[in-house]
Structure 1
Amino acid sequence: MSHLVVIPKVALADEPLRIQVSGLGPNQLVTLRASLTDEKGVLFQSKAFYRADNAGNVDLDRAGATGGDFNGVIPMGLLWFLRPEKRYRQLVKRDVMGSPFHVRFDLYDSFHMEQVPDVKPLDSQTVERWYVKPGVQRILIKEGRVRGALFLPPGSGTFPGVIDMSGGTGGLVEYRASLLASHGFATLALPYFGYDDLPRTVEQLDLEYFEEAADLLLAHPKVRGPGIGVVGSSKGAELGLAMAAFLNQVSAVVSINGRTALYGTRLRYRGRSLQGAPYCVERTLITDTGALVSRGLYGAHREEAHAGAAIPMEKATGSILFVVGEQDQSCNSAEFAAEALVKMRMHGKQAGELLTYPGAGHLFEPPGTPLCRETLMGRSPMPLAWGGEEVAHARAQEHAWCEIQNFLHKHIGKAGSSRL
């Protein structure tokens, strides 16, 4: 009798899975399917074909898929290749505390290209993929001007503090902050527009808001100083770099596919302002699927027209880790990171590091998250292209996630263990 095993049954969403099948006939052909339904009711699915060995076993750690959504030995391929039934949808966890993603794995005899209602699987397993470990606390923040959600790791000690910021989607985005807290960092998911009574748009921001958030985090009895870390993606990365340049509270910044100049956003701080550089609309492209490639919007900030928007990286007092995908279709992030490192070193600052990933796109997420190439977002009149290749992007996410945590450990202190 065939038997499908997927372990662990309950785990954090960034942990790898082990998938094995036993009890098959020698060289039997089978199909493995994965599926989950997100909180908006969108179904994500993947499939792969395998041939059992002479003992009737399939171990995805060693067996190569012979077709389906991918080929070759890719142990996490069924998660990496999950695709939505509705176009332009991204797999995003919204309620991190209330429930996990339930991922169902089905084993079928022979090759089933499509699901057939009257064909029953030989075996099925469902696993839970959580974005928070037991004991993590979520505290909704509405103090002074600061809005957000603070995630505190379990335990009686103090923890290194991190501010986590997302990109141009706006709102309160919590899934990376909750995972960081699950790995021992006291993490504040910090929205900066499009949430509660914050500005509805991002055209003008006050850096004193981010300073207030840093002070609030450092003042918490569970947070140990003297400095904090900042993790930001896209627009959030820009703001993290600005915090590094102007705020002494910031000891380390992780800039994920960000820019080192402000575009479309005016940033004020204590009487000084950086004027948002204009977008270079004439440099945009449209893909053959009708999505906007926006990386051309951002001209080199060394040009005269962009000089007033450049973040003064030479003033950064903390350490900075640039994480960039070479196939980023939203931003020429590799160019911006390289220019920033040159500028910092010209001013005697050696505390900059660069991680660059061939085949990776713009939307870097925690491990196990499938690549999203195109989405609808905000006020954009057309879908936005993000870039990336499934396997290269997924492997980049795994490597970068470990490196980000190691970088934070090094510069703001050790965190606790993470296993559920």
Structure 2
Amino acid sequence: MVEVRVSPGRSLADRPVRVEVRGLRPAQLVTLWARLTDEQGEQFQARAFFRADPAGAVDPGRHPALGGSYSGVWPMGLFWFLRPDRPFRRLLKRDVAGSPFLVQLQVFDGAQLAVSPQGRPLACCQAERWYVGPGVRRVPVKEGRVRGALFLPPGAGPFPGVIDLFGGAGGLIEFRAGLLASRGFAVLALAFFAYDDLPRTMAQLDLSYFEEAAEMLLRHPQVRGPGLGVVGVSKGAEVALAMATFLPQVVATVWINGTASLHGNPLVYKDLLIPAIPYSIERVIFTELGAMDNLAVFDDPQDPAYSTSAIPTEKIRGKVLFVVGEADRSINSKLFAQLAMARMAPGSCRLLSYPGAGHLIEPPGSPLCSMSSIQGTPRPVLWGGEAQPHARAQEHSWQEIVRFLELHLGSVATVKL
């Protein structure tokens, strides 16, 4: 009897699992098929073709995929190379604390080339992929002006504190905060526009709002001070770099594919005003699929006319980890990382730069999203990246991000699922 198993069957989304098929004929050609339906009903699928070994087994961690959604030996290939059935869809967990993603795994005889597999599967099973570990609590935050969600590991703490920021689409995105809390951090997923009663659009970057959030987090009895960390991607990385520059509470910053100058929105803080470099939207390029390639929208930050828009990173006293996807089609993020680092003190920063990785570098449970629709844009946006190097970048960078935060914020207790 053919059997497919995934172990563990219940796991955190950033952790590896093992897929095994037993009971096949030696050298039998089979298709392993993974399917996931997100909370909005969108379908994501991956498949790979294998030949069973002499014992009638298939193990993607030992046996190379001959073709399909990927080729070669990728233990997590059926999870990392999921693709949407409809274009411009991003796999994004919204209900982080309430339910897992359910991945259906099926084995079919032969190479299934159709969009949907034909016939009955030889075997099937299900994997649960969670974004919070047991005992992690989600606490909605509505205190003063601050809006977001606080994720607390189990136990009394105190835990090292982290603020988690996403980008220009606004709203509140929580999946990374849930995974970091499962690693032992107290994480505030912070919204800064287009959420609850916050402004619908961002007219300016008011750094006092982020200072209020930092002070609120450090006052929490289960958060260990005196410093905290910030993780930001895209516009959130720009904000994170400004926080590291001007807020003494920020001692460890993870900057992922952002800028080192103010763009689109000026920064205001007390008596400080940093003007923004305007977007040159007339230079947007529409791809054959209709997505917007925004790379040329950013003017050269080295132009002397924009010198006053640079974030003065020489003022940073903490540590910064710069994470760059060299195939980023949204921002020339490597240039911005290099410009920021050139102003910083020796030993205060480190660069992780990944050829072939795109803009949305996320925890390794997230398949590449090279283009997607986002709130506030008339057409989908091109993010860039190639599936296999992007997957390697996510796996490596996530481990480095966690180590960086542990090193500079103190030891943590990992939650086991």
Range of TM-score over shorter length: over 0.9
Q: Which residue of 2 is the match for residue 177 of structure 1? A: 177
1:120 CA drift (Å): 0.8
1:283 CA drift (Å): 4.0
Residue 289 (1) aligns with residue 289 (2): yes
Superposition pairs of residues 274-353 of structure 1, within 5 angstroms: 274-344=274-344, 348-353=345-350
Q: Which residue of 1 is the match for residue 24 of structure 2? A: 24
Distance 2:10 2:288 in 1: 41
1:354 corresponds to which of 346, 351, 371:
351
Listed one character per residue, the Cα deviations across residues 222-280 of structure 1 (whole Å, up to 9, x for unaligned) are 01111000000000000000001110110011000010011101211002111111113
The answer to whether the 8 A contact 2:134-2:415 is kept is no
Distance 2:200 2:115 in 1: 43
Distance 2:232 2:192 in 1: 12
Distance 1:118 1:32 in 2: 13
1:365 corresponds to which of 362, 365, 369:
362
Q: Which residue of 2 is the match for residue 237 of structure 1? A: 237
Q: Helix, strand or coil for the counterpart of 1:59?
A: coil
Q: Helix, strand or coil for the counterpart of 1:25?
A: coil
RMSD between superposed Cα atoms in Å: 1.3
Which sections of structure 2, spanning at least 5 residues, go unmatched?
Answer: none
Distance 1:291 1:16 in 2: 32
Distance 1:157 1:402 in 2: 23
Which sections of structure 1, spanning at least 5 residues, go unmatched?
Answer: none
Distance 1:218 1:408 in 2: 16
1:174 CA drift (Å): 0.6
The answer to whether the 8 A contact 1:164-1:188 is kept is yes
Q: Helix, strand or coil for the counterpart of 1:199?
A: coil
Q: Which residue of 2 is the match for residue 273 of structure 1? A: 273
How many residues are matched? 417
Distance 1:418 1:404 in 2: 17
2:387 corresponds to which of 375, 382, 390:
390
Q: Helix, strand or coil for the counterpart of 1:217?
A: helix
The answer to whether the 8 A contact 1:314-1:349 is kept is no
The answer to whether the 8 A contact 1:6-1:127 is kept is yes
Deviates most, 70-79 or 302-311: 302-311
1:66 CA drift (Å): 1.1
Q: Which residue of 1 is the match for residue 413 of structure 2? A: 416
1:349 CA drift (Å): 4.4
Distance 1:158 1:265 in 2: 36
State percent identity of aligned pairs.
Answer: 55
Q: Residue 103 of structure 2 aligns to which amino acid in structure 1?
A: V
Superposition pairs of residues 54-93 of structure 1, within 5 angstroms: 54-93=54-93
The answer to whether the 8 A contact 2:22-2:58 is kept is yes
The answer to whether the 8 A contact 2:244-2:251 is kept is yes
Q: Which residue of 1 is the match for residue 378 of structure 2? A: 381
Distance 1:168 1:278 in 2: 15
Q: Which residue of 2 is the match for residue 11 of structure 1? A: 11
Listed one character per residue, the Cα deviations across residues 70-117 of structure 1 (whole Å, up to 9, x for unaligned) are 111111111122111111000000001110000000001111212667
The answer to whether the 8 A contact 1:188-1:217 is kept is yes
Q: Residue 369 of structure 2 aligns to which amino acid in structure 1?
A: C
Q: Which residue of 1 is the match for residue 47 of structure 2? A: 47
Q: Helix, strand or coil for the counterpart of 2:66?
A: strand
Superposition pairs of residues 102-251 of structure 1, within 5 angstroms: 102-114=102-114, 119-251=119-251
Q: Residue 45 of structure 1 aligns to which amino acid in structure 2?
A: Q
Distance 2:382 2:127 in 1: 31
Q: Which residue of 2 is the match for residue 399 of structure 1? A: 396
1:118 CA drift (Å): 6.5
Distance 2:283 2:386 in 1: 23
Q: Helix, strand or coil for the counterpart of 1:97?
A: coil
Distance 1:270 1:16 in 2: 46
Q: Residue 354 of structure 1 aligns to which amino acid in structure 2?
A: L
Distance 1:118 1:323 in 2: 42
1:287 CA drift (Å): 2.5
Residue 96 (1) aligns with residue 93 (2): no
Distance 1:4 1:252 in 2: 43
Normalised to the residue count of structure 2, the TM-score between the two structures is 0.98
Q: 1:110 to 1:252 in 2, by over 3 A?
A: same
Distance 1:248 1:13 in 2: 33
Normalised to the residue count of structure 1, the TM-score between the two structures is 0.97
